[in-house]
Amino acid sequence: MIIAIDGPAGSGKSTVARMLANRLGFKYLDTGAMYRALTWKAMQRRVDLKDETALCQLTDQTTIEFRSKGKSLSIFVDGENVTEEIRLPSVTNNVHYISNTPGVRQRMVKLQRKLASEGNTIAEGRDMGTVVFPHAEKKFFLDAEIEERARRRYGEFRPSDKEISYADVIKDMEIRDKRDTTRNNSPLIKSGDAICINTTEMTIEEVINLIIKQIGYAGKNGSV
The predicted structure's pLDDT at residue 142:
97
Largest CA distance in the chain: 50
Homologous superfamily (CATH) of 31-117 is: P-loop containing nucleotide triphosphate hydrolases (3.40.50.300)
Q: Which CATH number fits domain 1-26+120-214: 3.60.15.10, 3.40.220.10, 3.30.70.2740, 3.40.50.300?
A: 3.40.50.300
d(CA 40, CA 59) in angstroms, rounded, equals 12
The predicted structure's pLDDT at residue 218:
54
B/e letters for 13-42, b = 16+ CB within 10 Å, e = fewer, are bbbbbbbbbbbbebbbbbbbbbbbbbbbbb
Tens digits of pLDDT across the chain (224 residues): 999 999 998 999 999 999 999 999 999 999 999 999 999 999 999 999 999 999 999 999 999 999 887 778 899 999 999 999 998 889 988 999 999 999 999 999 999 999 999 999 999 999 999 999 999 999 999 999 999 999 998 887 765 565 788 898 899 899 989 988 988 888 899 999 999 999 999 999 999 999 999 998 655 544 44
The predicted structure's pLDDT at residue 220:
53
7 sits in the region (left: phi over 0; alpha: psi -120 to 50; else beta) called left
Tell me where in the chain the CATH 3.40.50.300 domain(s) lie: 1-26+120-214, 31-117
Question: 140: number of CA atoms within 13 Å, CB side?
Answer: 26
d(CA 178, CA 200) in angstroms, rounded, equals 20
Task: Please give the backbone phi and psi of residue 29, each rounded to the nearest 5 degrees, phi first.
Answer: -110, 100
The predicted structure's pLDDT at residue 3:
97
d(CA 112, CA 123) in angstroms, rounded, equals 9
The predicted structure's pLDDT at residue 70:
72
Asked if residue 122 lies in contact with residue 28, where contact means CB atoms within 8 angstroms, the answer is: yes
80-81 sheet: strands from edge to edge: 64-69, 72-77, 80-81
The predicted structure's pLDDT at residue 222:
44
The predicted structure's pLDDT at residue 160:
59
Asked if residue 122 lies in contact with residue 26, where contact means CB atoms within 8 angstroms, the answer is: yes
The predicted structure's pLDDT at residue 55:
97
